[in-house]
Amino acid sequence: MRITIVEDNLDLAEAISYRLQALGHSTDLLTNGLEAERFLKREGSDLVIVDGNLPGKDGFDVIKSLRKQGFAAAIILVTARTGVQERVDGLNSGADDYLVKPFEMDELEARIRALSRRQSLQYVTMEQFGPLQYDRTHTTLLANGEVLSLPRREMSILICLLENQGRLTPKSTLVDQVYGIGADIDESAIESHISRLRQRIKPFQVNIKAARGLGYLLEL
C-alpha cells in the first residue's frame, strides 16, 4: 500500500515511515500542509496520515479541501488535542479515524489494518509482473510457481520498486528501504544490489531501468 505521512515533527515522521516500510508499504513524507495538499491532488495515495497542526495549512483544512475535490483515500488524523470537540471536528472535516499523540506504533498499525478492511484497501495478495509473481503474504518471489530465492536486500529493493510501479523510485528511497532511514550509507552502495537484482530477473524479461540522477523504474 502507498501511504502518505504528513507530519512536521521529522523524527516522528521518519519513525512512522520506517515502521511502515518494514511492513512492506511504500511511503511518501511531507512536512508542510499546503505542499501536502498539492502533492496528494497530483500523486494520490492509498492512505494518508496527517497531523492536525501543520505549517502552511493545518491538517483539518487540508482534509476538508481534499474531500471537497473528491479525494477518496482513507485519512487518519493525528492530533495532540485531547478534547472531544477537536476529535469531532477532525471526523467532520473528512477524516476516517484519528489518533491522539503520543501513540504507540502498534495502535497506528491496527488502525491502518482496520481501515484497509473497512474500505477494501488491502492490496492484492499476489501481484503478477511479467512471468513473475510476488506473494505479499509470505514475502516471496515466484517464477512459474516455484520460489525464486533472493537475498534480503535485493528483495527489499524489488518490493520498493513494485510499490512504486509506474514511477521513478529515487536512489535515496531505496537506500532508506534497504538500510533504514538515517543510516550512514553512501547512495552508490545501492548500485551493486541493483546490478545483481537485474541479472536475477533478466531471464524473465523484467528489467530495472535507471534514469541518471532521478532513480530507478521497474520495466516489463
Query: Where residue 75 sits, what CATH number does that domain have?
Result: 3.40.50.2300
- Shared domain for 109 and 13, answered yes or no, is yes
Residue 156's pLDDT is what? 87
Could you tell me if 28 and 57 lie in one domain?
yes
Q: Answer with the one of 62, 86, 118 that is the final residue of a domain.
A: 118
**In whole numbers, what is the pLDDT of the chain averaged over residues?**
86
Residues 11 and 111 in one domain: yes
Residues 133-164: tens digit of each pLDDT: 888 767 788 988 889 999 988 998 998 888 77
Of 39, 107, 111, the closest CA to residue 75 belongs to 111
Same domain, 194 and 100: no
pLDDT band at residue 198, thresholds of 50, 70 and 90? very high
Residue-number span of the structural domain to which 198 is assigned? 126-219
Q: Are residues 114 and 51 in the same domain?
A: yes
Buried/exposed code over 180-216 (b: 16+ C-beta within 10 A; e: otherwise)? ebeeeeeeeebeebbeebbebbeebebebeeeeeebb
Q: Are residues 10 and 114 in the same domain?
A: yes
Q: What is the pLDDT of residues 67-114, one digit of tens each?
A: 988 888 899 999 887 677 777 777 888 999 989 888 999 999 999 988
Binned at pLDDT 50, 70 and 90, residue 55 comes out as very high
Quick one: 190 and 108 in the same domain? no
Same domain assignment for residues 80 and 155: no
pLDDT at 1: 80
Last residue of a domain, one of 99, 118, 137: 118
Residue corresponding to grid cell 510501479: 165
- 114 in the same domain as 67: yes
Domain match, 55 and 35 both: yes
As a whole-number percent, the residues of the chain with pLDDT over 90 amount to 40
Residues 94 and 200 placed together within one structural domain of the fold:
no
Does residue 127 carry a pLDDT above 80? no
User: Which of 51, 83, 118 is the last residue in one of the domains?
Assistant: 118
What is the tally of structural domains in the chain?
2
112, 144: one domain:
no
Q: Give the predicted TM-score (pTM) of the model.
A: 0.58
Read off the CATH number of the domain in which 158 is found: 1.10.10.10
DSSP bridge pairs for 147: 142
* C-alpha span between 122 and 202 (Å, rounded): 30
